[in-house]
Every structure is written in structure tokens, then in C-alpha cells.
């Protein structure tokens, strides 16, 4: 006499019928960012050239302006002299931003690729070293007396940068002593930035078993919106199971970042 299927067998059969493996459309090759407007490739000569420029320009900027901003602000043609300094700073900041934007987008395209991870880490380290020579600039700007700075901005060209200067000076109450700020900046690659990278790479490497398939995080989260209740439930259970298996690591990362703040 045949026996009727158990509740567990019925559930398994239902999940098989609505399995995302069977129902999800084949998307084929997905599009990728075209970053050629920034740099042609990770190993392009332009990347190495701009990294060297960032180093050279930053050191030269520090040599020319460090310890001199207060005198520039109260001296003759203060507005024009400060404007020149800000424009130099702006040029270097734009170069650094271009490099780190490219490296960050390359890395975000596939955080589990060792070559991209190394490239991002190397660029981040070089940029941190270069920008350490620029750190003094905003710190010194915030030490200029408010009346002196306002007088310099009335002269003309410096007024163009008033919104930026006002934003910078909003940080003045939270500004630390120069050596402490320098230390935090130099250790950023091995401090909070390193923990953020560990989190991103761990998340990218996680796989969630759904309907006999191992999926990455994004497609698993998409299944949480599936019309089939059974699929949503299986996706939620897979997420909970895998996250629980990595709970200790995520707890360490979160607690470390909270204490770092």
C-alpha cells in the first residue's frame, strides 16, 4: 500500500518546482563599467605617472606653504595669495581623487578578485602617503583669525572659495593637534579602512545555498522579493544560516569600528 508523502517531502517538492534555479531568467554576460575616461587599465603608464605626480606635487606644496598661511592671510594681496594656494591644493586634490576613484571603482567591480584587491590597496597606500603632505593646509586655514580671513575674502578672487572655506571651518571645533591628526591619517590604511575592506571582501565571498544552488549576496537578496512565499522563505533561511556562521567575524569588525570612532 503506497504511503502518502510526509509534510517535509511535500515542502521539498514544492521548493523544487519554484526553485530559483529553474525560474530565474538567464541574464547572460552583464555590463561592466567603462572607466577609460579615467585610466585605460590598472597597469597603464598613466596610473604610475599620476601616482608619481601626486607624490611630487604634494611634497612641493607642503614645502611652499606649510607654516605660512597665517602670514599670507594678513599680508599684502592676501586674497590673491590665498587663492593661489587653494588653486594649487585643488589641482592636487583633483588628481588624487581621480586615482582613488578609479581604484575604488575597479575594486567595487569585483571585490573577490585578488588583482583588483591588491591594486586598490596599493593605490590607497600611495594616496595616503601623498595626502599626508596636504593635511596641514586645512588645519592651518582653520587657525586663521575669522576677521582676517573675512577681510581677505573681500578683496575679490578668494570670495569664489567662500562656500568651501566655510565648510572647512565647520570642522574647527573637532580639529585635533597637528601630530595627532597626522597619526590618524597615516594609520587609516591599517585602521578603519582595513576593517572596511575585510568586511567588503568577506561579504563578497559569502555564498548562500538556495534550491541546490550557491548564490552571492545580491541575487539572494533579490529572491526576498520573489512572488513565491516558499522562495522568499528559503532565501531568508539561507541568509540567516550563512550570516550566523560568520557572526564572530562580523561582531569583531563592528566592535572594532565602533571603538575606532
Checking if the pLDDT of 138 tops 90, the result is: yes
- 16-29 pLDDT, tens digit each: 554 555 555 566 77
Can you tell me the mean pLDDT for 224-232? 88
Do strands 213-215 and 208-210 pair parallel, antiparallel, or not at all (unpaired)?
antiparallel
CB 242 within 8 A of CB 249: no
pLDDT at 26: 66
Q: What angle do CA 73, 74, 79 make, to 5 degrees?
A: 45
- Grid cell of 99 as nine digits: 586615482
Can you tell me the mean pLDDT for 171-187? 79
Cα–Cα distances (Å) from 239 to 29, 209, 235, in that order, read: 25, 9, 6
pLDDT band at 9 (very low <50, low <70, confident <90, very high): very low
CB 21 within 8 A of CB 211: yes
Which residue has better confidence, 166 or 178? Answer: 166
Q: What are phi and psi of 209, to 5 degrees?
A: -80, 115
pLDDT at 6: 47
CB 19 within 8 A of CB 211: yes
- Specify which residues 49 forms β-bridges with: none
Intra-chain end-to-end CA distance of the chain, in Å: 68
Which residue has better confidence, 1 or 133? Answer: 133
The CA distance from 12 to 232, in Å, is: 14
The four Cα atoms 120, 41, 49, 115 give a dihedral, to 10 degrees, of 30
- Domain 45-176 part of CATH 3.30.910.20: no
Amino acid at each position: 500500500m503506497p504511503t502518502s508523502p510526509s509534510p517535509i517531502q511535500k515542502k521539498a517538492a514544492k521548493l523544487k518546482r519554484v526553485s530559483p534555479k529553474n525560474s530565474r531568467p538567464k541574464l547572460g554576460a552583464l555590463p561592466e563599467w567603462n572607466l577609460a575616461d579615467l585610466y585605460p587599465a590598472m597597469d597603464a603608464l598613466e596610473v604610475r605617472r599620476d601616482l608619481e605626480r601626486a607624490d611630487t606635487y604634494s611634497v612641493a606644496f607642503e614645502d611652499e606653504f606649510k607654516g605660512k598661511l597665517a602670514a599670507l592671510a594678513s599680508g599684502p594681496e592676501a586674497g590673491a595669495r590665498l587663492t593661489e594656494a587653494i588653486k594649487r591644493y585643488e589641482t592636487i586634490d583633483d588628481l588624487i581623487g581621480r586615482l582613488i576613484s578609479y581604484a575604488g571603482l575597479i575594486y567595487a567591480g569585483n571585490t573577490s578578485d585578488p588583482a583588483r584587491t591588491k591594486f586598490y590597496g596599493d593605490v590607497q597606500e600611495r594616496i595616503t602617503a601623498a595626502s599626508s603632505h596636504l593635511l596641514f593646509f586645512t588645519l592651518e586655514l582653520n587657525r586663521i583669525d575669522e576677521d582676517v580671513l573675512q577681510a581677505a575674502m573681500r578683496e575679490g578672487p578668494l570670495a569664489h572659495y567662500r562656500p568651501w572655506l566655510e565648510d572647512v571651518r565647520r570642522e574647527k571645533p573637532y580639529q585635533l593637534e597637528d601630530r595627532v591628526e597626522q597619526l590618524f591619517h597615516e594609520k587609516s590604511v591599517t585602521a578603519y579602512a582595513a576593517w572596511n575592506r575585510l568586511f567588503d571582501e568577506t561579504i563578497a565571498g559569502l555564498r548562500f545555498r538556495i534550491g541546490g544552488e550557491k548564490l552571492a549576496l545580491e541575487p539572494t537578496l533579490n529572491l526576498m522579493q520573489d512572488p513565491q512565499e516558499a522562495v522568499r522563505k528559503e532565501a531568508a533561511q539561507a541568509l540567516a544560516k550563512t550570516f550566523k556562521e560568520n557572526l564572530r567575524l562580523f561582531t569583531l569588525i563592528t566592535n572594532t569600528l565602533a571603538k575606532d570612532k
